[in-house]
Amino acid sequence: MSETTNETPVLDLLARMTADSVDAANLDVETLMLVRIAALVAVGAPPVSYALNLEGAGEIALDPEKVRGVFMAVAPIVGTARVAAATGNIVKALAVELEVADLEQQGSE
């Protein structure tokens, strides 16, 4: 695991917590990502939280239909407002990711 740096102590802590959680969960990667997405919906997570987790979901090629299935499964428990907000936050997270990718591409030209 990476060491804590003076520049990013909070991000370093979050990375360690996430790694510890992944190790302790004893779930396959797809199930782990689906559970994490469900938890983000339940707590009303901001777009940046979705961006960080969707990056991992993209790396394992998580099926968008399964993410929709998670939304449908949790809707009766967390409410439609949380699911609608989660959808909007995912859209915002993806928009930021696309903008960052464009900036990186422009910088490399």
Angle between helix 80-108 and 29-43 (nearest 10) = 110
Say how far apart CA 72 and CA 85 lie, in whole Å. 14
pLDDT at 22: 83
- Sequence ranges of the domains in the chain: 9-108
CB 15: neighbour CB atoms within 10 A?
Answer: 15
- Between CA 53 and CA 65 the distance in angstroms is 16
Position with higher pLDDT, 37 vs 103: 37
pLDDT of amino acid 3: 53
pLDDT digits (tens, 9 = 90+) for 37-93: 999 999 999 998 888 887 777 778 888 899 999 999 999 999 999 999 999 999 998
pTM (2 d.p.): 0.77
Report residue 1's pLDDT band, with 50, 70 and 90 as the boundaries.
Answer: very low
